[in-house]
Amino acid sequence: MKTEPGAYSWADLQREKRTHWDGVTNTTAQLNMRAMQKGDTVVVYHSQTDKAAIGLAEVVKGPYPDPTDEAGKRVWVDIRVRRPLARPVTLAELKAEPTFATSMLVRQSRLSVVRLDDDQLATIERLAAQPPPP
């Protein structure tokens, strides 16, 4: 899940512990949110300034109707903070990884909610555990 740190940051989630994920209007991003299930791991990614994966969260409530959407087409999910990554993993690092070659995270940068497979999640965690590139 991408967020602009000036609007809602990883620090905000850490402070609040739990939040609903709202404001997603893109059809593809909404489809990705509809596929989320309780217990799924969420990578929180700061877009705009940092352009990096920052921390891990967990879906605690699967998709439910967005109460602000009069048309009834959008959903929200609730997430809770799990843990920060050992260090931010930048978009440049992810683009250099073969497991992300076809990922919408690097191919469609404006998409705010992107599905990752298990290998991609493992890659983020592996990179976070390594020293940053020079």
> What gap in Å lies between CA 88 and CA 32, rounded to an integer?
23
CATH topology of domain 2-129: ph1033 like fold (3.10.590)
pLDDT number for residue 44: 97
Q: Which two tokens stand for residue 34?
A: 């509809």
Mean pLDDT of the chain: 95
Residue 85 has pLDDT above 90, yes or no: yes
35 band by pLDDT with thresholds 50, 70 and 90: very high
Segment 100-114 shows an average pLDDT of: 89
Domain layout of the chain by residue ranges: 2-129
Q: How many CB atoms lie within 10 A of CB 76?
A: 21
